[in-house]
Each structure stands twice: as C-alpha cells, then as structure tokens.
Amino acid sequence: MEESDTKHDCGEHVSPDNCGQPMHQLMSELFPICRSITGNGVRETLRILQRHVPITVFEVPTGTKVYDWTIPKEWNIRNAFILDRDGNKIVDFNTNNLHVVGYSIPTDKIVSLAELQKHLYSVEDQPDAIPYVTSYYEERWGFCLSHNQRSKLEEGPYRVVIDSDLKEGFLSYGEMLLPGESRKEIFLSTYICHPSMANNELSGPVVTAFLATWIASKPRKYSFRIVFIPETIGSITYLSRNLDDMRKNIVAGFNVTCVGDERAFSYLPSRKGSTLADKAALNILTSLHPEFIQYTFLERGSDERQYCSPGVDLPVVSVMRSKYREYPQYHTSSDDLSFVTSSGLQGGFEVLRDCIELIEKNTIYRVTCLGEPQLGRRRLYPFIGTRDTHRYVSDMMNLLAHADGNNDLIDISNIIRVPVRRLYPLVENLVAAGLLEEVS
Amino acid sequence: MEESDTKHDCGEHVSPDNCGQPMHQLMSELFPICRSITGNGVRETLRILQRHVPITVFEVPTGTKVYDWTIPKEWNIRNAFILDRDGNKIVDFNTNNLHVVGYSIPTDKIVSLAELQKHLYSVEDQPDAIPYVTSYYEERWGFCLSHNQRSKLEEGPYRVVIDSDLKEGFLSYGEMLLPGESRKEIFLSTYICHPSMANNELSGPVVTAFLATWIASKPRKYSFRIVFIPETIGSITYLSRNLDDMRKNIVAGFNVTCVGDERAFSYLPSRKGSTLADKAALNILTSLHPEFIQYTFLERGSDERQYCSPGVDLPVVSVMRSKYREYPQYHTSSDDLSFVTSSGLQGGFEVLRDCIELIEKNTIYRVTCLGEPQLGRRRLYPFIGTRDTHRYVSDMMNLLAHADGNNDLIDISNIIRVPVRRLYPLVENLVAAGLLEEVS
Amino acid sequence: MEESDTKHDCGEHVSPDNCGQPMHQLMSELFPICRSITGNGVRETLRILQRHVPITVFEVPTGTKVYDWTIPKEWNIRNAFILDRDGNKIVDFNTNNLHVVGYSIPTDKIVSLAELQKHLYSVEDQPDAIPYVTSYYEERWGFCLSHNQRSKLEEGPYRVVIDSDLKEGFLSYGEMLLPGESRKEIFLSTYICHPSMANNELSGPVVTAFLATWIASKPRKYSFRIVFIPETIGSITYLSRNLDDMRKNIVAGFNVTCVGDERAFSYLPSRKGSTLADKAALNILTSLHPEFIQYTFLERGSDERQYCSPGVDLPVVSVMRSKYREYPQYHTSSDDLSFVTSSGLQGGFEVLRDCIELIEKNTIYRVTCLGEPQLGRRRLYPFIGTRDTHRYVSDMMNLLAHADGNNDLIDISNIIRVPVRRLYPLVENLVAAGLLEEVS
C-alpha cells in the first residue's frame, strides 16, 4: 500500500544565508513527537515536513522481505508510567518519551524493586541524563531514567504500565524527486526514527527539508532524490525498492545527520573514499573549515553502512557537525533543543549547500586559445590595481593554466588552492569572454 | 648424476607452538660439520636433515655451466693445523673449523712468521673472535684466528698443514616437493654452505625443516617447493634447472636465513616490493611485531639476489630475526650455539609459519546479500555482551563491509586493522552461515 | 621578412669546467644595451651573440596575429632626460637605461612637480635602487628613479624629454638548430627583452650561448632547438610558428633564466610535473645540490607560462639559481654586474650541462644474463680492495640488479641512490663486457 500526500508550502521565502531560526522553530515543533522505526510518530513527522516540502509518503507492510531483513511489526504507544507504592507517578512517558524503551511491549503489572531493576536503564557517568534505549528485534519492555533518580528508588511494590501496540502494520518513509536538466541525480538521505533528540535526529530532517526548498527554488543541472526514512531498516527498504535506478543515476549523495550543534565540522568518507561526493566534501571542508575532523569508514554508524555496502556501492558520504557517538549528549535526553542552535543548524545547512552547489557547478573546462590569452585588451580585470585585484588576476591566470580539458573545477581548486566560491565568477566571466568552454 | 635419498622420519609429533628445543637440538647436531659450497659437509648435512624431512639430493658435476657461472671443483678437508717451532699445535681445524680459509688448497710447508702473516686473517675490533673467510674462485690457502692470538705470535719457523682436496666432483643440493590442491607453489629456500655458525647458517635449514614437517602434516591449498642449497652458486644452479616451472607456479617465496637469535624481527622486500610474499610478510610483521626493521632491496645479500634478478623476478622476500651483516657476531665464531636460542628459533619458525598460513588462507571473499546482513536473527555473536564480544561484532561487520569481491583477506586485515588470526574464525563462521562466499 | 645572419666564432676553445670568466665578460659587453620586447636593442644583442654561436635571426612584422596576441609596434629610444628649473640634467637615460619606462612614447614638455610625480616610479623600501617598469600595451611615458632622489625633488617647473619612436616595425628573435643522430629534440629557451639587468636577463642568454657552444662541440644523440626571444610575446610568437614540430620532437626543454648569482639553486616544474625534463632536473639537483629550492607551477612567471599552457604542453622546466621575484635585487638597478659573478654563472652553466648530459645518456638497459653475473672472472673491478672499490662494486651490482629493461638510467640512479656521474663509466664498462644492452 502506498499513499501519496503532497500538501506543502513551498512558497515560503527564507534566505538560504539566514535560515537558522526557522529551522530551529521547525525542529521545536517536531521535537515532542515519539518517533520509532515504525508507527504514527513517523507519519506525523512526515506530515509536518510536508507543509514545507512536497514529500510522497510510502507505507511498506509488516513481513515484507527487504534483502536480508523483514519489515517488523508496527509499534505505537499512547502512554506509560511507573507508580510507586503511594501511587505517585515517578516516571512518566508524557514528560519525556525517552523514558520508555523503544518497541516496549504492552505491560501492566505490579513488580518488586528487584524485578523492576531488570527493566531499568540509566547511565552512571551521566547521572542527570535519561538514556535512549530500544529493542526492535527482541520483544521486551523497559524504562529509562536518570541515574540520580534510579539510585533513590525505594522498596516497592511498583506498578508499571505501558499502553503500547506491537502488531501488523507498516513502515513509513518519505521520498521527494526533483527533476533537473539531467537524469543523473544527487541523493540526500536523512532519518526520522528517534524520539525527542535534536542533533542526532531532528537536525537531519530539518536541514534536509530546507535544503530541498532551496534546491527546488533554482534551476538545476542534476535531478535530486531526497528521502526521509527510518535508519537501517528504512534505508535497506528503500534500497530494495530503488537500487537499480539509484546505481544508474546517483552521482553523489549525502547522509544528512548530526548537523545542528556548534562544535566541529566533520566528514565520514564513502567506503571507496574517492567518489565525487568525497571530492566535493573534502574541497569545501578543506577550504572553508580547515579544522574539520576527518573520520574513516571504520567509524561509520549511520545509513552509509547500507549505501556503501558491497554491491550497493553508492557514492555517499556524511558531512556533519559533532558526529554521532563522539559527543557526550549523544543518545541521551541532553541532546535537546538547547544543544542544537540556530547558528549550528545554519552552519550545517551551509556546508551541505556548498557541497551541492559545487557538484552542480563542477565541470571540466578547456581554455580556447593556445598560450596565455591576452587579458589586457579584454579588460577582464578591474582597473584599479590593489591587493584584491592582484589576487583576482592571479586566480584567473591559474584557472586558465589548468583548464586543460582533463581537470574539473574541483581539481583546479585543489591544485591552485583557491576556494571554489572565488572561482565561480571567474569561470562565468571567462566563459562569457569566450576564453573557456565546457568539455562534455 | 642425481641420487634420490628419501629416508626420513616425518612421523614425529612436535607441536608447532613449542618446537624451539628440538630445533636447537638438531642445530647442535649439525653445528660441528665443516660445510662449504661443495663437498661432504653438505652431503652429511643433507643426510641428517633427511631423518626429519623427505629431501631428494641432487649432485651437479664440476664444470657444468649454470647461467653466467660454472660449477667449481669440489672441496673436501680432513685436517689442518699450524705447529710452532716447538711442535705445539697452536691453530687446529679440529677445535674449530673456522680456522681454515674455505676452499684452501692442500699445503704442507715450513714458513717464517712474516710469510705466515700473509696467510692469516683476524678482526682487530673483535679480538676474541675467529672470522669466517673463503676463497672459492681464486686458489690460495690461509688460516683464521683471533686477533688476540695473532698478536702474540712469536718468530717462526712454523709448519702449516692443510690436508684438503680440490678436484673434479659435484655440487650437492636438496629439494623437497609437497603437492597441494593447486599446482601453484609456495617456495622456501635456505642455504647449507657455511661451517660452524648458527644464526647465519643453521637457523635457516633447521627452521625450514620444521616448517616442512608442519606443512606436510596438514592439507594444503598450495604445493610447496623447498630447497636446501649452497648460497649463490647453489641458487643459480637450481634456477638454471627449474626456472620455467618456478616462474609458472610460484606465487610467493621466502629465503629462510638468520631466524634464530632473540633480537629484532626484520624484513627484506622482493625487488618489486609488492608481491604476495611482500604483502603477507608486511601484514604479519606489522600486526604481530610492529617494531620490526624494514630493510630495502639495496641491503640484500642472500639468495634474493638471484631469485629477484631481472628476468628471474620471483616473488621472494626474507623475513628474519637479526639480519646478516647487521649484528656483531655475524661471520665469526661468536655466531654460535649460545647466540641462537630455542626461543629465538621458535620466534623465527612462528613468523614464517604465520606468513605461510596467511598465504594459504588468503582468498577473495564476497558478501552474499545486499546491505548489511541482519546478524541478530542468526545468533552469529555471543549472547553475553562484553568488551570482547563488542570487538567480535565490530570485526565481523567491518569484514563484511569490505568483502566486496575485490579485497583479499590481507587487504581487509590492512584496511580494518585487525590481525588475520582474529579474522580466520570469523570467516569460517560467516562462510558456514552462507553470508560470505569465495570469489574464484 | 626573415633575415639570416650567421657570422659567429664557434672555434673558440673554452673549457666547460671553467667558463665563468668569459661568460661574465660577454655579459658585461651586453649589459649597456637598452633592450625591450622589440627594437634595435634586441637586434644588437643578437648580433653580439652571433659572434659566439650561429644564430638565425627572424623578424616578425607589427600587426601579425600570434594566437591570442598581436605583434605590437616596434619601440626605439635614443635619449631621455629630465631638466630641473636650473637646466641641470637630474635624470639621464645615458647613465642608466632603467630611468625610462619601457615603451614610453615620445615626449618633450614642461611640467610642474605635481604633474611630473604622476609619471615617476620608485620603490620606497629599496630607496637607492632604480626600479624596472614597462608599459607595452598601454601608451604612456614615465621615468624611474631612486626613492632617495625622488624625495628630494623641489618645486618645478621641469622639462621632460623622451626621444623615442613607437611605430610599425618588427619583433626580432634568434633561433639555432643543431641536428643530432635523432630528430627528437632537446629545447633551450632564453629571453632578451630587459634593459641593463644581469641575473634576470643576461645570465640567461650568456649561459645559453655557452651551452650551445659546448653542445655543438660534441656528437649528439638528440637534435637541439635553441631560441633567444623576447619573453611572453616572443615565446607566443615562436610557438605560433613552430608548435607542430615542437610537439612532435621535443623530449625535454629548459627555460634558461636567472642562472648567474651565487645563492640558491632552484627548480620550477613543468605543469604536468613528471616529464623527462622534470625527471632529469630533479635527479641532478637532488644528488648535486640537495639544498635546492623546489617551487610549484603556481610560482611560475617566465616562458613556461606559454610552453606548458594547455594544448601546448611541452616538457619544459626551469633550473635556476635565485628565482625571479625571490631576491631583493630583482627588477631593479641592483641586479647588476656585481650581483652576477663568474662563479655564479659557472654554477648555472654546469647544472644545465649536467641535465642535458643526463638526457643525452639516459637509456633503458637490460642485463644480458639470468641471475647475477660472475664479475670475479671478468676482472671488472679494481684489484686493490679499498673503500672506493667496495663502493664501485656495490654500485655495479645495484645497477645490474635494476637494469631490467623497464628502468631507465634516471630511475636506476634514483632507486639505488647513486649520482648518474658515477654510473656513466660503469655502464660503459658493462656494455663493453657484454653484460648490459640497450633496450630500444
């Protein structure tokens, strides 16, 4: 069963240079929803995103074989709490949805403290934080709470109530296809399967939605394939239905995750390490964020695990801010709306926008004359000689010297050590002057 | 003329993890024999080795052309000494066979001290050691002695006696062929041409004999070609009779020399530097002996000089402990049964055994599903989560992620930085589970 | 119009190991001439060089299209000065031809100090030096003077006189072709377009002329194409008339510039960076001048800009002493006959001679036997064993070990870390002994 739903509001006018605040606002709206790899939380998240971008929603039934996996039962939860012997609600799903282990089966029983402890999860060295725990493929129930709270629990009995369903249903995901001049595609993938966490969940779909709006607003060389999916089982499901097209068309892809805090920029390569996505990401990060952290594929942990698996081999990298597993707030209640900021989101948006822009503009050029062109008679550079115009002329001569019909723009930027942003207007002027031509 | 002699005792049961002591015992038995590039010392050495491994002995006549060389006359020696004017035997071949310059012609004459000095060899900066000197291709006679002894010599006359033969005969060498599933071969070469020295002579044939026993005791993918030969003239002779087969079949080879002391591990590459033998040696040394010394082909000095010569170009490396020429005892009487130890020999044996095992097991694998397999439902990892099981799962996922039908096991070990020993059982489990398959 | 003029004196006998003094003398003779990119200064320079080497002079008319450029009007100057209000000649072309901006149009007028300042050029941080300024493609007039003098100028009026012509004429350049056994060519290019400056002008043509004499005196494998041209417009002109032959025949080329002072040796690669010229230059510099400065193609600034431009792509490098733009005297009156010395020129000559000799001798060799040859019976090495003979034998064995029919002599020198000068006699001996053969 597939349902298409395309109400959205693409008419909004947000400057791509200043969209941190509206991104943070969208994130705040999505934050309270209890998402998991299936269920109504995913659907509601997609519905809110559809107000911004024209996402088509797909529903794949429980039991469907997807490569080595099977779509699990659908999980939904309405309420959950723990009552102490005085009837006080000491743990409450309604105050923080991280309190319940994801995919907990329905429960309503009286237990001793000893019995309860077997179902509790906390983190000793982060005593104030509620950890995030799931059990998708083994049926159990449990609660997460701060270590401080846990250590103060007195003897029971306790009543534990989890009002959830785990039954035949669907896995939901969203897809958006934006046709361009070419059928070749740039691919963006982000995940929507974690409950209330900000950097390692909502920064991804929010930045992706705003990238989609920006992409949709301009003429495009490449087509774009943009997906909002549950991690792992969702990407495997998506691949199992689209791999042939993806392998034929995708020239570069980005797994959009952890793009919202204000700390590092970081990069996780594709398995092969030298795809167009890698080239673009390394060029942008090296020139704009030279302090970025370069991870190896051994440190992977998101959907590049599927996209770069043998036989799939898509050119997908991750360009992130603080990488999952590498910051203390990761997978706890501290990864919240204050940890991710407007300015952090803006930075995450921009670095991905710059990578996409670079891939869109990346072309092999060839200079049209032998020997250096005589720039003087063409007035291709400003009249007043300053340090800036000197740099301008030097950039232009270096660009021309390496536009040999083999180097693409990324190669030239790397060789002549000039950020691509400074090359774009030069290329435009030189093409207009007939001195550069595209090599097809 | 070729004589085949195959008495041996392959039935002995020595643990490959604990064979240092029997190797040292065999070395002690071979130590007193006066070997040279031809003669009965070589034959007696081969005869003793035949009690352990089924070596076929070949005899090649004096005068035979072997590439740019000619098999020299055969040299045998029975006795040699110097008598002082009082008739005291001040230098005696029977106390140490290094006292006679190898290939000394027969001599019996009375000489002055001045005349005698022209025929003496000692090493000033190692005053207690007797040096090792030969003169294979220029007929002369001489004695070697410690510098201390030499400096105390009084005026003569002296009587010098060398009871040797230098006449038409044979060059002897041993060969052992162990067929495997494939006609492709792993090649081991070691030399038997030095008199009483331990690291730079006997550690080689002893470790090679025990490797041969271990190889013979197990099923094999590859066939093995194992030779015990005089250095240089022996390897040239062997090549001149076997090159076509060797070039067609050998996938990797090891020149076994200097594998008995307790100091460094070291590696001398093939001339091309990137053969399967190089890959295997570098993988094993890097993971198990990361402090190993990496020499260049410029520092070669044993039979890789022939095996890697232009037009021969076999994939042969040396994995050693203290390399010839790089330790003070080299080519003196100090390279003796105390310098080489049981534990030193065990280490030399093991590093070569590990290289051979790796080449035997090295295969290109391909994962059988697209996307990551769902390990959970297969119970491929232990139930109790510990630091070790975490490493186990991580190794398994990294192995699967790189089993793409192009990487062989050595490549994967290098990429994921996991010693091959930890990969072998994983590979076995994953093949059994149908998740990995060999690429032919 | 082309005029051929071949009076020269190639019979002179100057030792290539000791030609610094005569090179300095020729430079002194050329120094006073006022050269520019066109005009009689270029012609007079070529005429003096023709007394040493058989240069053919070509004259290309104003207005000729050369690729993206057009040959400009010819400029000649007879006199120029500034008179103060007392009639004193305070700036005089006859004392230093750098005083006039190159290509200044004819002028004779009375100007105020304020008006004069607009036409003056000086360098504040080198207050004693007269800078070098030109305006080839924009018609104006101007004077250059020391900053010290300029800052003392009093109120005018001043009379400025420039007795020059700027009219239809020719661009002049010189060419010399020396046929060798092969039609394949080595290319030398140097420029003759600056007035009185020594390192960044005359060291080039002077060293090139002496190289030409040395080349002409010996049998040659390669043909030589040697040009004396105005920089930029001259190399573009030459390319536009000869590119097809040059691309077909040139195997390596050197832009000869800044080869006369006593400081650094330096190297500017070809655009591709790995041509035969690069290989030869790097081998010679690394072994003989290991402290040399290695620039990148981004730091180019002479005729390699044309020779390495896309579509031209000639294998041309620069091997220099102090590179243009990298020494304080550059483009000022301080780049004079004392800055460039006999010994500096000798060093510049020798490094280029060594590169040329290497390219001439560079060949792929193959050893003629399998296994190591038996050098002993051939007496290929000296009888007395010394440190030198040990090195000799070691060099010989290493050379033979890598003469595999793939490595050329430069590769072997690099691999075995032996300067090519030490390999030349070895190669000769081994070829004579039949142990090495050339691979065609």
The verdict on a CB contact (< 8 Å) between C369 and B68 is yes
- pLDDT confidence of residue C12: 53
Position A440 confidence tier, pLDDT thresholds 50, 70, 90: confident
Length of chain A: 440
Assembly ipTM: 0.92
H-helix segments, C11-169:
20-30, 40-50, 113-117, 147-151
Largest Cα separation within chain B, whole Å, is 92
The verdict on a CB contact (< 8 Å) between C401 and B305 is yes
Structure tokens at B49: 């080795």
Nearest to A323 by CA among A395, A388, A260, A245: A260
- pLDDT confidence of residue B12: 53
pLDDT at A3 over 60: no
Q: Which helix (H) or strand (E) holds A241?
A: helix A233-249
d(CA B196, CA B102): 12
pLDDT digits (tens, 9 = 90+) for C141-196: 999 999 999 999 999 899 999 999 999 999 999 999 999 999 999 999 999 999 99
Largest Cα separation within chain C, whole Å, is 92
Residue whose entry in the numeric block shows the structure tokens 């010098």: B160
* B-C contacts at Cβ under 8 angstroms: 56
pLDDT at A297 over 80: yes
d(CA A107, CA A119): 12
CA B125 from centroid of its chain's CA atoms = 29
Residue whose entry in the numeric block shows the structure tokens 């673009």: A280
pLDDT at A31 over 50: yes
Phi-psi region of B408 (alpha: psi -120 to 50; beta: other; left: phi over 0): beta
- pLDDT confidence of residue B381: 63
The verdict on a CB contact (< 8 Å) between C416 and B236 is no
Q: Average pLDDT of C111-117?
A: 96
Q: Which residues of chain C does B314 touch, with a Cβ-Cβ cutoff of 8 Å?
A: none
Phi-psi region of C156 (alpha: psi -120 to 50; beta: other; left: phi over 0): beta
- pLDDT confidence of residue B377: 80
Position A331 confidence tier, pLDDT thresholds 50, 70, 90: very high
- pLDDT confidence of residue A8: 39
Position C223 confidence tier, pLDDT thresholds 50, 70, 90: very high
Phi, psi of A7 (to 5 degrees): -70, 135
pLDDT digits (tens, 9 = 90+) for A247-264: 999 999 999 999 999 998
Structure tokens at B360: 């035997």
The verdict on a CB contact (< 8 Å) between A271 and B371 is no
pLDDT at A318 over 90: yes
d(CA B283, CA B286): 5
pLDDT at A7 over 60: no
Angle of helix A342-361 relative to helix A276-288, nearest 10 degrees?
130
Mean pLDDT of chain C: 94
Residue of A37, A71, A307, A309 to mutate for B, most B C-beta atoms under 10 A: A309
Length of chain B: 440
Structure tokens at A30: 């999505």
d(CA C56, CA C43): 11
Q: Which residues of A touch B (CB under 8 A)?
A: 66-69, 137-138, 232, 235-236, 239-240, 243, 271, 297-298, 300, 305-306, 308-313
- pLDDT confidence of residue B100: 97
The verdict on a CB contact (< 8 Å) between B371 and A236 is yes
- Cβ atoms of C271 and C308 closer than 8 Å: yes
Nearest to A143 by CA among A85, A96, A110: A96
SS3 B307: helix
Q: Which residues of chain A does B402 touch, with a Cβ-Cβ cutoff of 8 Å?
A: 271, 310
The verdict on a CB contact (< 8 Å) between A311 and B367 is yes
Query: With a cut of 70, which residues of chain B have pLDDT below it?
Result: 1-13, 381-387
- Cβ atoms of B263 and B311 closer than 8 Å: no
Residue of B121, B241, B271, B309 to mutate for C, most C C-beta atoms under 10 A: B309
The shortest CB-CB distance from B370 to any of A137, A298, A311 is to A311
The shortest CB-CB distance from C416 to any of B298, B308, B313 is to B298
* DSSP assignment of B408-440: EHHHHHHHHT--HHHHHHHHHHHHHTTSEEE--
Q: Which residues of chain A does C232 touch, with a Cβ-Cβ cutoff of 8 Å?
A: 372
Those residues whose C-beta lies under 8 Å from the C-beta of residue C363, and which sit 6 or more positions away, are: C408, C409, C438, C439
Q: Which helix (H) or strand (E) holds B57?
A: strand B56-61
Per DSSP, C255 falls in state E
pLDDT digits (tens, 9 = 90+) for A74-125: 999 999 999 999 999 999 999 999 999 999 999 999 999 999 999 999 999 9
The verdict on a CB contact (< 8 Å) between B370 and A69 is no
Return the residue of A nearest to B377 by Cα: A137
- pLDDT confidence of residue A385: 55
Those residues whose C-beta lies under 8 Å from the C-beta of residue A281, and which sit 6 or more positions away, are: A254, A267, A317, A319, A355
* DSSP assignment of C107-148: EEEEE-HHHHHTTEE--TTSTTPPB--B-SSS----EE--HH
The shortest CB-CB distance from C404 to any of B67, B68, B310 is to B310
* DSSP assignment of C192-247: ---SS-IIIIIHHHHHHHHHHHHHHTS--SSEEEEEEE-TTHHHHHHHHHHHHHHH
Largest Cα separation within chain A, whole Å, is 91
- pLDDT confidence of residue A60: 98
The verdict on a CB contact (< 8 Å) between B310 and C405 is yes
- pLDDT confidence of residue C384: 56
